[in-house]
Amino acid sequence: MKEMKVQPIKNGTVIDHIPQGMALRVLRILNVDERIGSTVSVLMHVHSQKHGLKDVVKIEDRELKPKEVDKISLIAPNATINIIRNYIVAEKYVVKVPDEVHGIVRCTNLSCISNDPKECVEPRFITISKKPIILKCKYCEREIEDVASQIII
């Protein structure tokens, strides 16, 4: 059986240890689509000694912003971020679920002040559990368990 390998990237970001089946959601929250103009590699259901099956996303010519890393941490709390410069891993770190989340998740309570367009209030949440991830709205105190579906894109 011939093994295919994914080409290394010169500069960019590799997001590893994404839970299996979540790579496409990572691309969506990073707003990566056909207009990106850079090479994007998506590996899904890859065998991992540590995690069983995992997904991996490689984005050439792009380094993630802190808010993007926070979004990834909410759907892939064990992900690692590798910043590649000149084909070498220049930085490597494990994402951390933030203690507070600002402006990246919407409240599920339609009556919450953060959902009122007249108020111009940025959604703010406190992380009350990291395993599983549960957030609580600072305004209405509504708890959100399905955080991945409420991430603002």
Q: Which domains does the chain have, with CATH numbers?
A: 12-94 (3.30.70.140), 100-150 (2.30.30.20)
What is this structure's pTM?
Answer: 0.86
Structure token pair of residue 96: 């951390």
Distance of alpha carbon 3 from alpha carbon 97, whole angstroms: 35
Q: What is the enclosing helix (H) or strand (E) of 55?
A: strand 52-60
Q: Per-residue pLDDT for the chain (153 aa), expressed as one digit of tens each? A: 566 677 889 999 999 999 999 999 999 999 887 777 788 999 999 988 877 899 999 999 999 999 999 999 999 999 999 999 999 999 999 999 999 999 999 999 999 999 999 999 999 999 999 999 999 999 999 999 999 999 998
